[in-house]
Structure 1
Amino acid sequence: MTDTSEPVLDVPPPALGRVVAGRPHTIGRFQFHFADQRWEWSDEVALLHGYEPGTVHPTTELLLSHKHPDDRAAVAGTLAAAVRDGTAFCSRHRILDTQGIEHHVLVVADRLFDDTGAVVGTDGYYIDLGPDLAEQRQQIFDEALPGFFESRAVIEQAKGALMLVYGLTAEHAFAVLKWRSQETNSKLRDLAAKLTHALSTLGGGPLQQRTQFDHLLLTIHERPDPPAPDATGGPGTRA
């Protein structure tokens, strides 16, 4: 029997579909290979920058040229550090498409490994933090989350972590969680529980914690389920 307490994420409801897939450039994937400075981007990322898919080959110079002038130096520094140190990275900044339209984006990238385990590049996502997400949030609640409130606390904690780490609004943090749920075919409640449980494993200073969180966001679905709370609300074990 299907669990009806949460939406089945492989068939997203209408409002969620509009956030995740309705606008073709909402979320897109990219890879950057360090050795030959080779970029690959999905059709969604091409459209986000104003290009028809397949008409332009991305390069570092091209991508940096689309960054907002006030953000370009910081993004270039983040990218240079990723190449130098072989680390995951995240950047929230503005880009200008070919029509001069400004887009606020969140770029989250993890390390890309070769068959020997060596870091050879980055693999991640562009997330367009479009203005329509706020007005669609209520529709997502109405259509997709009839049993949400029983799980609200852990989801709110996960949202709070995303808001703190990436400087997102509540609406954008919720959209990022929903995106990871669909991308990994995981239930929102379970993904949020894994994320909040794993926060205690982050160590080091702020920079190290940020890098670890970037990796955590992109791999959290691979982690085991956290212990279920016992009858007193404290940590327990799953039956």
Structure 2
Amino acid sequence: MADSPVPSASPWVIADRNVGTFRFWFVGQRWEWSDEVARMHGYEPGAVVPTTELLLSHKHPDDRQHVQDLLDHALHLGGSFSSRHRFIDTGGKVHTVIVLGDRMLDAAGTVVGTEGYYIDLTDTFAQTRRQALNDSLPELFEARAAIEQAKGALMVVYGINSDAAFELLMWRSQHTNTKLRALAAQVVAELATIDSQRDDLRRQFDHLLLTAHTRIRAVGGE
């Protein structure tokens, strides 16, 4: 399973050119990028072989050490990593991304690397933030508890900070045309459906977060 070709972002997740997938094998530090991730960096699919050196060369100078530290941590402890950081594509454009990684297992259940999503917020975050803060302040005030709970869940599961968790919620809100408070409330309502004893907790939460908007009306949401 771990050696199959890296997929494009799963169609049931989201049809979005700003979302791509990656895999990173610890042995040999071998990378695979989906077509979307290659294009984010300014390359045509298959034009380059991604390496740790290439990846780090694209990172914003102020964020490069942070990403290096995350990779070192994953390599030494055999874990996954998630991060909010910036990179610079081949054309010089600065991208702000959230990278959500999970452990990658071989057939025997041994951790052999990490795999997950690149979510490029560059073209969507400013607009989403303006909409959330300017158009929906009363809504945000009323829904603060649910939003804070949803943010807390994202912070724990993905190991990201409060700002990144809020950006992730806003990204899903915009790209699914769902009100932020309704989405947050749905995520919180479904937390009890996740089995924390299973090894695939992160994948369970991925599915919850990326499909929650489809179940809002069914349970009395907006």
* TM-score normalised by length of structure 1: 0.60
Match of residue 204, structure 2, among 209, 214, 219: 219
Structure-1 separation of matches of 2:43 and 2:88: 12
What amino acid does structure 2 have at the position aligned with 1:96? I
Match of residue 94, structure 1, among 81, 86, 89: 86
Count of aligned residue pairs for this structure pair: 179
Q: Tell me how far 1:163 sits from its aligned partner.
A: 7.0
Aligned partner of 1:194 in structure 2 is 190
Higher relative contact order, structure no. (Cα contacts within 8 Å, ≥ 6 residues apart): 1
SS of the counterpart of 1:109? strand
Matches within 5 A, 1:68-79: 68-79=60-71
Query: Which stretches in structure 1 are left out of the alignment for 5+ residues?
Result: 1-9, 140-150, 182-186, 202-214, 224-239
Match of residue 168, structure 2, among 150, 165, 173: 173
SS of the counterpart of 1:92? strand
Structure-2 separation of matches of 1:113 and 1:98: 32
| Aligned-pair identity (%) | 48
* TM-score normalised by length of structure 2: 0.64
Match of residue 103, structure 2, among 105, 111, 114: 111
Structure-1 separation of matches of 2:124 and 2:154: 19
Structure-2 separation of matches of 1:11 and 1:117: 26
Superposition RMSD in Å: 4.0
Q: Tell me how far 1:108 sits from its aligned partner.
A: 1.2
Aligned partner of 1:36 in structure 2 is 28
Structure-1 separation of matches of 2:113 and 2:173: 26
Structure-1 separation of matches of 2:118 and 2:24: 13
Say if 1:216 and 1:154 are closer, same or farther in 2 by CA, change over 3 A: farther
Query: Which stretches in structure 2 are left out of the alignment for 5+ residues?
Result: 1-10, 133-142, 177-181, 209-222
Larger radius of gyration: 1
Is 1:27 the counterpart of 2:23? The answer is no
